[in-house]
Chain A
Amino acid sequence: MSTAPQPPTSDLRSRAEALGQTLPPLLAEAEMLASTVMMGEHGRRRAGLGDEFWQYRPAHQGDSVRMVDWRRSARSDAHFVREREWQAAQSVTLWVDPAKSMSFAGDKTRAPKADRARLLGLALAVLLLRGGERVGLAGLASPRAGRAQLLRLAERLSGEAAGETAGEDYGAPRTEGMVSHGRAVFLSDFLGDLSGIEAGLARAADRGVKGVLIQVLDPAEEEFPFDGRTIFESMGGTMRHETQRAGDLRTRYLARLAERKDRLAGLARAVGWHYTTHHTGHPAQSALLWAYLALQGGR
């Protein structure tokens, strides 16, 4: 076993793969979208175009002779047609918030929110790619299938991590490269201006994209464990707020946070999306499982 330092790319990828290994291949149920339907490995539970055997049916009128399965037919008097299961693949677009606010960690022992968001995103990508889906990064990589795409995604995400200082304080979802009627996953803390988020969601909904909002928060943001005279600054330093007694602000802050969550949940419901909050203090697996279920059941 080697203890040599590994490049961050392979580190992130190996952690994501490790996380993704514990779930069965995620079978995202694609909705009927003719333009984006691609042959994939996802059984549609009905006859159609695909590689997997689905059923034999008696040959009807109009079936071409080519379609008759002669080997089956030879065992009986009737002619049978071998039908295959209809298989389809989804395009899933990930957006992982690259803004500075994501680099916050409330405690030295906890990783920044961005780390967790990227990990979750890539783990989802691993699962989806393993299931044959096409996964892309909004604005960074167009959806593709295959293992090579996984490497590419990991590279992009890590590159994003390296360049995080260049970003803004709070991020808004990007919708470039999003495939119509595909799926999308937004990973962010959603603490910035709500209008940007609303706009992003609206654009996505316009294209018929459905997906999930995962709000990644640090426990410190949930608990507000501060006291005393404090000047709060945003991560980029563009916003600041001074208080004499931070402890007095706690209840009001928490009320505002709850209101923000309600707004997000309402937005998601309005466009048929799913919304959850994930804390970096909790294991990532629960969030991954939730996202798996949400993408599967998002019809």
Chain B
Amino acid sequence: MFTLGPIGFAAPWLLVALIALPVLWLLLRAVPPAPIRRRFPGVALLLGLKDEEAETDKTPWWLLLLRTLAIAAVIIGFAGPVLNPDDRAPGTGPMLIVVDGGWADARDWPQRLEKIEALVAEAGAQGRPLALLRLTDAPGVVDFQTSEAWAGRAAGLQPQAWAPAGFADWAQVLPEGSFDTTWLSDGLAHDGRDALLSALQSRGEVRVIENIRAVHGLHPPRFEDGKVVVSASRMPAGEAGSVEVVAQGPDPAGIERDLGRVTLAFAGGAATAEAAMDLPPELRNRITRFVLEGQRTAGAVILADDSLKRRKIALIQSGADEETLQLLSPLHYLRQALAPTADIIDGNLRDTLLANPDVVILADVAEIGGPERDALLEWVDNGGLLLRFAGPVMAASDVSRIDEDPLMPVRLREGGRTVGGAMSWGEPKALAPFPEGSPFFGLTAPPDVVVREQVLAQPDPDLTERTIAALDDGTPLMTRKVIGGGQVVLVHVTANAEWSSLPLSGLFVQMLERLAVSTRPARPEAADLSGQIWSPEVVLDAYGSASDAGELPGVEGEALAKAIAAGPSRDFQPGLYAGADRRVALNVMGEETALVPAVWPQSVPVDRLEARAVQALKGDFLTFAAVLLLLDVLAALWLAGRLRGIARGSTAVLALALLAATPREAAAQDTPAPNDDFAIQATTSVVLAHVLTGDPQVDELARQGLLGLSDKLWQRTSVEPMMPMGVDIETDELAFFPFLYWPVVAGAAEPSDAAYARLNQYLRTGGMILFDTRDADLAGFGGGTTPEGQALQLIASGLDIPPLEPIPLDHVLTRTFYLLQDFPGRHQGGQLWVEAAPDAEAVAAEGMPFRNLNDGVTPVVIGGADWAAAWATDDLGVPLVPVGRGFAGEQQREIAYRFGINLIMHVLTGNYKSDQVHVPALLERLGQ
């Protein structure tokens, strides 16, 4: 294929036609644009006028250029130009695709998958058998199959969360015979890779496709001066840049949030960067993982295990204000032992309990006052660990002498004992080996730890089981009692070196660790892990997202320790492993893990993953030519002066084209929000509304009922309502509706507080609700014996409803439009309840048919006559529900309509009809 730079040509001979372009130039130049014939009466005035410039009958040069370019584009287009032509010779024989498939592949996996699919398709096109192997898998049989067989499997291929390994094993299982290999590398160096590479090279050609995007990895964080120091590596170490590290964890409500964030700035050429993250302990203890933002790989995620957690420990001693020598302070050794790994809270008991410490250590505190005692007891009961040390004060006190103190594990004998002192016989006592079942089991007591003085426990029946450490003569040295979720531990010696050499030994620190008083050093040692089975709780996939470990088997501690040192593998997937009392994270990146770029031998061609695909340009060139020709048409028209008339039409065409091309978003912005639609619909005119109950049948009947009533209002009165609407009291705005019909269904749920608030606001601001229990008022109001009645009571309990009374005969509802004495719906004879008249003693004036009750529209009307059923019509106005029998039934339906009309009139006109009580007086005043 003939190539020019990055462009190749399928039919290069056609390019010879380009020689003809200068000829074309000369030809075109001679032809002037055709004239326009134009009828114009003013020609009489033009006669005899001469053109000033005569040479314009030649085509202008730029038009010529345009045309020449168009022709050239056509010629080049038909010559079949191809961008980035693929001039590799098609291979023969089987093809092997090797994918690293480790975590470093994860971020650009789609591109890799695309490449793999392209290779599979290529093999299919060339009819070559194909095999695909992922180096993170266990070495297995490599067999060549047709590309069709692989096409489906390749699409489902996923990277794994660990680095490829077992290269030598893969080299062993390679099939015999020659084949070509395409190796999609993740760009990182892996140990032992050369073994496989040389094996592959012995079989045939090897081509490597590599990623050129940088790979970032996050190292486990560590503590330094109370701050969390995070560090990350990158490969290659290119220009200066920065990445953000986000610490994530649950907030108090259990929702995953970003708890902290720090920017790691890579200097130019630097492979690593680190930054300190200063977080308060409360936040720090919540961190579950650190993530490099924007890097979707397992290497960019560090799961935080217990090593990050620092416990809050309250240290309290008796007589804290006493001035003592530092080394004699009961808390000195504790402080030394705990300070590196824990946060220490000082202060009095009451204040420190408010900080909710994990552990409270009382050094030689005997009596604890009443309220503090209760608070401490409650705190222990909720899971706190109370660690008490004995001392002179405790030995001298009466605490737990006769009865066991709730905050002491054992009863104490008076005075304690001294062994090996100047005034006593015997040797200072050493520690006995820790019994099985003790939290200290497995620790070896150094022989130089001796106890010279201690408090003694009373030999109670449960003393043995409460003893967790003893002296070699069997005297309890540490006792423990479980209280609720927490425990109390008493160390029978002082916390300083006064009574024993225990605080001076390393054992003291280890014992504190075993008691979970202090946390371990950041990195778990092999010894810490050995002897236990660690079961995976959470595993990471290659993209760094965590998932439940499910059925993965537990692993031995020793093996896990090795895996932590060497990095995860197929058998040790990265994730969190839980042991007996702690959790250990196995992360992709260790503290020392470095990202080393892969170096391939000179003999291996290395391609970039991002290399541009073959792209045929024929269409582009032809389109360009077409555009040029279009321009030429326009230019020719313009030259000939004909563009003026065409301009108008073409503007319209252009506008149409632009309109068609305008994205839909523009239109979307113009459409009002659905809420606005609702509001506009509800406020265009009077709209009757019914409350949606959730029962579709009831809701439909209510809608049809209001439709029938609306029709009647339209026909008979000046009220002309629009189509009725259903209203959801939980979400919709109620203020638009003067009237709500609320059919109560059995078992209706109570409205939410917000809905109640809006309903009450609605009632207070002049709305009216007609509650209809639709039960023919069988139970009578307030009886609550029908399910609907009970539902009504439930609903109404939260509503701001005034006192009610059965509708009096002179209520304004009886005369707002029609004169009514009865208010039937589908059922007849029920009682109707309205707001009680404010002045019960009001009496009708002489000669007046009704009392002088002037103000107030009743906010609720309650009944059970199922009015909606009586009102309901279909869209043609035909009644839907039979009412009564024959003509009497129709009469009842008519009265029901009249009630509805009266009701709406009452809603809309208020007490207007009531005001007519004054008519005689007004007439009299007018002098009639």
Contacts and interface: CB of A to CB of B under 8 A. Distances in A.
Interface of A: 101-102, 104, 170, 189, 191-193, 218, 220-221, 224-235, 239-249, 252-253, 256-257, 260
Interface in B4-57: 32-47, 49, 51-54, 56-57
A233 B43 CA distance: 6
Given A218-B41, A239-B43, A245-B51, 16 more contacts: A104-B39, A170-B44, A189-B41, A191-B45, A221-B42, A225-B644, A229-B34, A229-B641, A231-B35, A234-B40, A234-B44, A239-B44, A243-B49, A244-B57, A248-B51, A256-B46
Given A248-B51, A253-B45, A232 B40 contact: yes
A253 B43 CA distance: 9
Contacts of A170: 41, 44
B39 A235 contact: yes
B639 interface: yes
> Which 6 A-B residue pairs are closest in the complex by CB-CB distance?
A228-B641, A227-B641, A101-B41, A229-B35, A232-B43, A256-B45
A221 B43 CA distance: 10
Given A244-B51, A244-B54, A228 B43 contact: no
8 contacts: A221-B40, A221-B41, A228-B641, A229-B57, A230-B641, A234-B40, A241-B46, A244-B56
Nearest to A260: B45
Interface of B: 32-47, 49, 51-54, 56-57, 639-642, 644
B36 to A, nearest CB: 5
Contact of B39 (A224, A229, A233, A245): A233
A243 B35 CA distance: 9
Nearest to A248: B52
Contacts of B42: 191, 221, 224, 232, 253, 257
A275 to B, nearest CB: 18
Nearest to A107: B645
B54 A232 contact: no
A191 B51 contact: no
A230 B41 contact: no
A225 B38 CA distance: 12
B49 A241 contact: yes
Nearest to A233: B39
Contact of B53 (A193, A224, A234, A244): A244
Contacts of B54: 244
A249 B46 contact: yes
Nearest to B37: A231
B32 A248 contact: no
Contacts of B37: 230-231, 233
Contacts of A245: 51-53, 56
Contacts of A248: 51-53
B51 A231 contact: no
A104 B38 CA distance: 11
A232 B51 contact: no
A227 B639 CA distance: 8
Given A227-B641, A229-B640, A244-B57, A191 B44 contact: yes
Contacts of B642: 228
B35 A257 contact: no
Contacts of A234: 39-41, 43-44
Contact of B33 (A191, A225, A228, A233): A228
A247 B57 CA distance: 15
A240 B34 CA distance: 16
A230 B35 contact: yes
Given A228-B639, A244-B56, A245-B56, A252 B40 contact: no
A220 B645 CA distance: 13
Contacts of B44: 170, 191-193, 234, 239
In this complex, which of B33, B41, B44 has the most chain A Cβ atoms within 10 angstroms of its Cβ? B41
A234 B45 CA distance: 11
Contacts of A192: 44
A256 to B, nearest CB: 4
Contacts of B47: 239, 241
A236 B44 CA distance: 12
Contact of B38 (A101, A102, A230): A230
Contacts of B43: 232-234, 239-241
A136 B33 CA distance: 51
Contacts of A220: 40
Contacts of A239: 43-44, 47
Nearest to B45: A256
B400 to A, nearest CB: 113
Nearest to B33: A229
Contacts of B39: 104, 232-235
Contacts of B56: 229, 244-245
A104 B54 CA distance: 30
Contacts of B641: 226-230, 246-247
B54 to A, nearest CB: 7
In this complex, which of A232, A240, A248, A260 has the most chain B Cβ atoms within 10 angstroms of its Cβ? A232
A176 to B, nearest CB: 25
A17 B47 CA distance: 40
Contacts of A231: 35-38
B265 to A, nearest CB: 65
A203 B326 CA distance: 142
Contacts of A253: 42, 45-46, 49
Contacts of A104: 39-41
A189 B40 CA distance: 12
In this complex, which of A102, A193, A249 has the most chain B Cβ atoms within 10 angstroms of its Cβ? A249
Given A226-B641, A246-B641, A233 B45 contact: no
Contacts of A243: 46, 49, 51
A102 B41 CA distance: 8
A170 B45 CA distance: 12
A101 B39 CA distance: 9
B38 A232 contact: yes
